[in-house]
Structure 1
Amino acid sequence: MIRWNADQTALRQGIGRWCEALSAGDIERDAEGVFPQDQWKLIQESGILGLPFDERWGGLGQSLLTTMYVLEELGRGCRDGGLNFSVATHMVSSGVPLQRFGSQELKQRYLPGICSGETIGAHAITETESGSDALAMRTTATREHDDFVLRGSKSFVSNGPVAGLFVVYARTHPDGGPFGITAFAVERDTPGLVIGEPVAKMGLRTSPLSELHFDDCRIPASAVIGRVGSGFLVLDHVMKWEILCSFIINTGQMRYRLDRCVEYAKERIQFGKPIGSYQSVSNKIVDMRIGLDTARKWLYDTAARLMDGENVTTDIAVSKLLASESNLASALAAVQIFGGSGYLTEYGLEKDLRDAVAGPIYSGTSEIQRNRIASMLGL
């Protein structure tokens, strides 16, 4: 069991004070499906974007565990699930690989903007044809003198329409397998980079999504993050952070949803009794609590093991499965507990459900996670 100290608690309480303003108008913004620029400015002012980054770049120098602890409170307090998702994507997709693998030049150039939020980050991994099979990517980066030339396209790029910096994964060796992929830092205004229009989607609507197209997009060799051929190593590190940070936000959302359902089940009277007195309702709420506690334990325990340098391949997969599927089950249960009201937009619960549907898909589908666990069992 983790014992949080006074500094960690103060950071968590600090972001909590911003959440009412961050949540204002969330239902209307979801309906419009646009990135909340005003709320992003509040996120910048809160300082949360600098949590895991060194102080020399304008960050707060906090550990992975502390970062997760604060992000969990963001999930509990901020009702804009898309905004929360964009925060995690920005922090993890660009800042984390640059701090861990970037050259001094790349860190100096980009990390201050990432920490302040002036430069919004995104990463470009997925391609329409390859989907979850990242090693089958077709986007190429060809060395030409002191440059690399990117050719191809990426899909499902979260933050794509608003990002100023992309971490792009491309194939630099046709037969290199995992060692044939390289990560690059690509600026928004680079000639040859074409950013598609925002794509409408089911949930997380305030977190904009687009395609990227690389038409002889020329970037300097100094834009390589890590070494040529080390992109899979970079991606593996990023995906661990992405799962831990994105889904700890979901547990905060699950906590808020649980508390709301408990309160409603005590107040809502049907057939002369509070609906919480009926086993069919109380059991749903108990399952919500169990799912929340189990997901939190796996996420925090896995983060602690990762910080200790242990192999967490299986733990990451289990954590992602539990958190994403428990969040989806929790959101559906909340709609059912609130009945007809839960189906109405004004209560925000149907929005939570639409947001939660994405969890078992992004960051490696549930099927991929189960396959990974089976493989680690020797099956």
Structure 2
Amino acid sequence: MVDFGWNAEQSARYEHLLTRLRQVCKDSHTEHPLGGRRRHWRCLGELGVLGSCVPAEHGGQGLGALDTARVFEAAGRGCRHTGLVFGASAHLFACTMPIAEFGGPGLRAGFLPRLCSGEAIAGNAMTETEAGSDVSRLATSARRAPGGWVLNGKKSFVSNGPVADVLLAYATTDPRAGYLGQTAFVVDAGSPGVRLGPTMAKMGLDDCVACAVHFEDCFVPDERVLGEPGQGGPIFQRSMEWERACLFAGYLGLADRLLDRVKEHARARRQYGAPISRLQAVSHRIADMATQVESARLLLYRACWQLDRGEPADLAIAMSKLAVSEGVLHSALDAVRLFGARGYLSEDGIEAALRDTVPAVIFSGTSDIQRQLIARELHL
């Protein structure tokens, strides 16, 4: 039996988060995005967002994938700073959860409480200039040294990098082993041999700062290895399951927020002596937006439901990621059209939403990569 309802606890959690985040995130953007938003970041920790799916004994809420998605759905709808929600998602799904699931007792005790509370910020150091979708060809290397490993290489794009306290870095430890030759390391951002590049100027997601990270003879002790040497590939793919499913719930929330805005605008804006909502071209565009977001929502919920049941979810996750990212980009463009000249101006935040949605079709595997994954799961 399929139950499409939320119980009282789940509904109350969603409404509480929505209300609080609307209050906390009502101000406009600042010139120094996350650096000026530590208060917002700590608030996400206090509300439980940063540790949603981390076990309670380590400072999290211990929620499953579906409930975690609902948390980020509320965050995406209630917080107008999409970059902040994205940064929190990258922090939790790409960094904190790998430590929770694959770290030793010392790593979990030393990092998880601070990461869940918002005291510490994490950045995922995986992407390289020649290794985006193909993560089996990392140029960053780690060689054995007494008591640990020495990292060398450059990561080309690290979200949260300029303000990160801890980095989850992937490096090649056995070039002959391909996918099984990568290892994941937990590195203090202030360690000798870690050098941060300048903060990147980006199209959108302004509240999630990013930079390149250089590792230059950076020593990492053995106890900072996640899992075992050579397990970096599977660890990263597991983090992508969390990210592709739950991170994009934040974009569902953004799509809901856009839908709320365009409905309000269409009822209030008058042309030819009547609200523009009476114009079929307008009402049909909004109807398509609503249908698109609900279709994507069902795919995302199904993917999370399968994750919670321990079922293979590769097909559902790829379909969900594709539907949400492409759908929200289309909805944001429609919102600009519906707002007209106001949609092009910064004041209403509609153009910012469009800029924030563009990278959704690129990160966590491009839309073309998702189509390739879907085709593979269909045995094509």
TM-score by length of 1: 0.96
Q: Name the structure 2 match of 1:374.
A: 375
1:32 Cα shift?
5.3
Structure-to-structure mapping, 1:60-99, within 5 angstroms = 60-99=61-100
Distance 1:249 1:362 in 2: 14
Q: Name the structure 2 match of 1:215.
A: 216
Distance 1:221 1:249 in 2: 35
Query: Do 2:200 and 2:209's aligned partners in 1 also have CA atoms closer than 8 Å?
Result: yes
Q: Name the structure 2 match of 1:292.
A: 293
Query: Do 2:34 and 2:163's aligned partners in 1 also have CA atoms closer than 8 Å?
Result: no
1:343 Cα shift?
0.7
Query: Do 1:72 and 1:251's aligned partners in 2 also have CA atoms closer than 8 Å?
Result: yes
Which of 7, 14, 17 is 2:16 aligned to?
14
CA distances 1:50-109 after superposition (whole Å, capped 9, x unpaired): 221122212222222111111111111110011111111111122110111111111111
Q: Name the structure 1 match of 2:107.
A: 106
Q: Does 1:198 align with 2:202?
A: no
Distance 1:56 1:309 in 2: 22
What secondary structure, in the 3-state scheme, does the structure 2 residue paired with 1:248 have?
A: helix
One-letter identity of the residue aligned with 1:98:
I
| Count of matched residue positions in the alignment of Structure 1 and Structure 2 | 377
What secondary structure, in the 3-state scheme, does the structure 2 residue paired with 1:105 have?
A: helix
Q: Name the structure 2 match of 1:313.
A: 314
Query: Do 1:22 and 1:80's aligned partners in 2 also have CA atoms closer than 8 Å?
Result: no
1:375 Cα shift?
2.0
1:359 Cα shift?
0.4
Q: Does 1:160 align with 2:156?
A: no
Q: Name the structure 1 match of 2:261.
A: 260
CA distances 1:184-242 after superposition (whole Å, capped 9, x unpaired): 11111111011112101000011000111000110001111011111111011100111
Query: Do 1:169 and 1:184's aligned partners in 2 also have CA atoms closer than 8 Å?
Result: yes
Distance 2:289 2:64 in 1: 29
| Structure 2 unpaired stretches of 5+ | none
1:159 Cα shift?
0.4
What secondary structure, in the 3-state scheme, does the structure 2 residue paired with 1:16 have?
A: helix
Q: Name the structure 1 match of 2:346.
A: 345
Query: Do 1:33 and 1:200's aligned partners in 2 also have CA atoms closer than 8 Å?
Result: no
Query: Do 2:205 and 2:356's aligned partners in 1 also have CA atoms closer than 8 Å?
Result: yes
Query: Do 1:197 and 1:210's aligned partners in 2 also have CA atoms closer than 8 Å?
Result: yes
CA distances 1:293-327 after superposition (whole Å, capped 9, x unpaired): 01110111111111111111111111111000000
CA separation of 1:275/1:32 partners in 2, compared to 1, >3 Å: closer, same or farther? farther
What secondary structure, in the 3-state scheme, does the structure 2 residue paired with 1:97 have?
A: helix
One-letter identity of the residue aligned with 2:313:
V
Distance 2:272 2:326 in 1: 33
Distance 1:108 1:54 in 2: 12
Runs of 4+ in 1 over 3 A off after TM superposition: 31-35
| Structure 1 unpaired stretches of 5+ | none
Q: Name the structure 2 match of 1:230.
A: 231
Q: Name the structure 2 match of 1:169.
A: 170
Distance 2:229 2:321 in 1: 29
What secondary structure, in the 3-state scheme, does the structure 2 residue paired with 1:358 have?
A: helix
Query: Do 1:173 and 1:181's aligned partners in 2 also have CA atoms closer than 8 Å?
Result: yes
One-letter identity of the residue aligned with 1:166:
L
What is the aligned-residue identity percentage? 41
Distance 1:184 1:2 in 2: 40
RMSD: 1.4
Q: Does 1:241 align with 2:221?
A: no
Distance 1:104 1:41 in 2: 25
One-letter identity of the residue aligned with 2:21:
C
Distance 1:32 1:59 in 2: 29
